[in-house]
Amino acid sequence: MTSSALLATTRTITKLVPTPKPTSALAHVDRSLPLLSQLGIVLWVAVFVLYPSWVQTTLGIFACYVIDDGKGPYAEHQQVGESSGREAGTGCNW
């Protein structure tokens, strides 16, 4: 592709993509906030969206695992009972 064809394509695309009106809120934010503040807003939105999966993954370490099954030579001395389940407030359902 030659540079003139690339320039013509760029001009065509620029005409097709609507430019934001100066009165729109996004255009105002883009003009009035510095880049660092805009990136901070993007970070907060990303954390808000991703937080549930992070919490679920982190709390997954407290999932139910069978440690003492009541079998073996010293079954009467096995004292570890049920721990909390995958969801807060529920026990293990065996």
Q: Is the pLDDT of residue 87 over 60?
A: no
Domain residue ranges in the chain = 3-48
Q: What is the pLDDT of residue 39?
A: 92
pTM: 0.38
Can you tell me the distance from the alpha carbon of 37 to that of 88, in angstroms, rounded to the nearest whole number?
36
Can you tell me the distance from the alpha carbon of 25 to that of 27, in angstroms, rounded to the nearest whole number?
5
* 10-62 residue pLDDT tens: 888 877 877 666 667 777 778 888 999 999 999 999 889 888 888 888 887 77
* 17-27 residue pLDDT tens: 776 666 677 77
Q: pLDDT category, 1, cuts 50, 70, 90?
A: low
User: In 3D, which of 73, 70, 71, 93 has the Cα closest to residue 83?
Assistant: 93
